[in-house]
Amino acid sequence: MLGLDDHTYTHLTHRADHQDAFYIQPFGDQFAESKPDTLLTVSMTGEILSGIERIYNPTAYQTHGPLYRARPDLQAIFHLHTPNMVAVSCLADGLMPISQWALHFYEQIAYHDYDSLITETNQGQRLAADLGDKNILFLRHHGVIIAGRTIQEAMFYTHHLEMACKTQVLALSMQQPMRTLDHKTCQRAVKTLLNFEQDLGARDWNAWVRQYHRQQTSHHIKA
């Protein structure tokens, strides 16, 4: 609905209720095709516990499993590569604090150097080490990993990060002198932005759910 998918090449996960596994869409499914009864349950080591898997996807399993093991606080992990996010991941300075969207992430981002497809456990462990205690990990020349304590929080970060990256790409394309914000202002802003609401992302999540239902209703009426 939001245009954040990359056909079948990105994946969203949520930690399963018993904590030792996570839910993920089957490899080959687009985001729009995901339904509760089609999701796979995968162990932290990449074993399929339930669901029908058409193609084994070590890249997804070795990305998410090590991150969940290293960070018990995380309940949702998204891996995305929109063109805007990939473009910013290629820049030496990464995400720049030039918009309010970007200020949500001031001093809150980690970076990971490109290492081909992630298919082995040690690669996933390096991802977890580079993420550290952050919630955003830029994979250089690849995309991003976005993590949250809830699905709503992960979606909150996703929206603001995509808008921040899009704005940075636009600003740089103008090839004009760029004004920057001072360090103290950025520190004050990120503290305010991330503590503005108690349940971070819940308000936006509810609005997206309403938007989805409106679109579904409109589709059925037209049909």
- Specify the pLDDT at position 123: 87
- Specify the pLDDT at position 58: 86
| Confidence band of 113 (pLDDT split at 50, 70, 90) | very high
Nearest residue to 164 (alpha-carbon basis) of 113, 114, 91, 115? 91
Helices H / strands E in the chain, number of each: 7, 8
| Confidence band of 207 (pLDDT split at 50, 70, 90) | very high
146: part of which helix (H) or strand (E)?
strand 143-148
| Confidence band of 223 (pLDDT split at 50, 70, 90) | low
| Domains of the chain: residue spans and CATH | 11-222 (3.40.225.10)
With a pLDDT cut of 70, the percent of the chain lying above it is: 98
For residues 37-53, average pLDDT: 93
- Specify the pLDDT at position 214: 92
pLDDT (tens digit, 9 = 90+) per residue, 132-161?
999 999 999 999 999 999 999 999 999 999
